[in-house]
């Protein structure tokens, strides 16, 4: 599925000049790099250079890999994706994200062919382990698979950003737990995030 662009009028919040900005109704693998480096949500004013993060409802779909990720800023939960919209993607992995950061991360995870339930559980375990020693840690995001096959995560601290490398065998261990102990998901839209992971371990 290719990306579909639309042009919107946008007033720069700084210099108040009107500009046409490119938004996407849907995003396909042709824009994968722009999603993964978040530049797709970045707009620089041509008049004054002011940088704005533009986040709007959209979706990323890879038909070959059979997954679709809906971005719905400010929506409460996955029920905002109507049945009609879901029905377009039978048998697909369907995910809902509320923020640009989690949307970008989800594209990274599913494009890498990883199981996002296992990734979120692995993030939860890693977060808990590090947080015990440093409680300024606030968030953790999947970044990419390294060339040696390990998994790289970004650690967000209150005033710092760091990274951690996790062995692929750790991921495989968690994947086995998902396959053996977590009830299988239905053909529905799910929000698979750290909250989801937390709910699995209580």
Give the interface with Zn ion as residue ranges (CB under 5 A): 12, 14-15, 45, 47-48, 50
Q: State which residue, 15 or 185, has the beta carbon closest to Zn ion.
A: 15
Q: Is the distance from CB of 15 to CB of 47 less than 8 angstroms? A: yes
Q: State which residue, 23 or 145, has the beta carbon closest to Zn ion.
A: 23
Tokens standing for 43? 């707009």
DSSP code per residue over 104-155: HHHHHHHHTT--HHHHHHHHHHHHHHHHHH-TTEEEEEEEEE-TTS-EEEEE
Q: State which residue, 47 or 146, has the beta carbon closest to Zn ion.
A: 47
Q: Is the distance from CB of 60 to CB of 27 less than 8 angstroms? A: yes
| Distance of alpha carbon 115 from alpha carbon 70, whole angstroms | 17
Smallest separation (angstroms) from Zn ion to the CB of 50: 4
Smallest separation (angstroms) from Zn ion to the CB of 52: 9
Smallest separation (angstroms) from Zn ion to the CB of 54: 13
Q: State which residue, 48 or 128, has the beta carbon closest to Zn ion.
A: 48
| Distance of alpha carbon 163 from alpha carbon 120, whole angstroms | 16
CA 87 remoteness from chain centre = 22
Smallest separation (angstroms) from Zn ion to the CB of 11: 9
Which residues contact residue 142 at a Cβ distance below 8 angstroms, ignoring those fewer than 6 apart?
105, 108, 109, 114, 119, 123, 151, 152, 153, 154
Smallest separation (angstroms) from Zn ion to the CB of 42: 14
Smallest separation (angstroms) from Zn ion to the CB of 47: 4
Q: State which residue, 8 or 201, has the beta carbon closest to Zn ion.
A: 8
| Distance of alpha carbon 125 from alpha carbon 102, whole angstroms | 18
């Amino acid at each position: 599925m290719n990306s579909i662009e639309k042009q919107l009028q946008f007033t720069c919040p700084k210099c108040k000049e009107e500009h046409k900005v490119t938004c996407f109704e849907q995003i396909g693998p042709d824009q994968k790099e722009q999603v993964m480096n978040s530049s797709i949500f970045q707009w620089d004013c041509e008049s004054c250079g002011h940088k704005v993060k533009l986040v709007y409802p959209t979706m990323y779909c890879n038909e070959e890999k059979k997954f679709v990720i809906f971005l719905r800023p400010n929506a409460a939960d996955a029920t905002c994706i109507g049945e009609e919209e879901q029905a377009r993607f039978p048998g697909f992995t369907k995910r809902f994200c509320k923020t640009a950061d989690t949307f970008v991360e989800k594209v990274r995870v599913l494009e890498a062919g990883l199981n996002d339930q296992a990734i979120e559980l692995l993030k939860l375990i890693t977060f808990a382990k590090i947080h015990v020693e440093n409680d300024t840690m606030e968030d953790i995001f999947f970044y990419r698979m390294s060339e040696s096959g390990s998994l790289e995560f970004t650690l967000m601290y209150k005033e710092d950003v760091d990274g951690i490398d996790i062995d692929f065998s750790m991921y495989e261990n968690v994947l086995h737990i998902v396959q053996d102990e977590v009830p299988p998901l239905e053909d529905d839209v799910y929000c698979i995030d750290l909250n989801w992971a937390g709910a699995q371990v209580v």
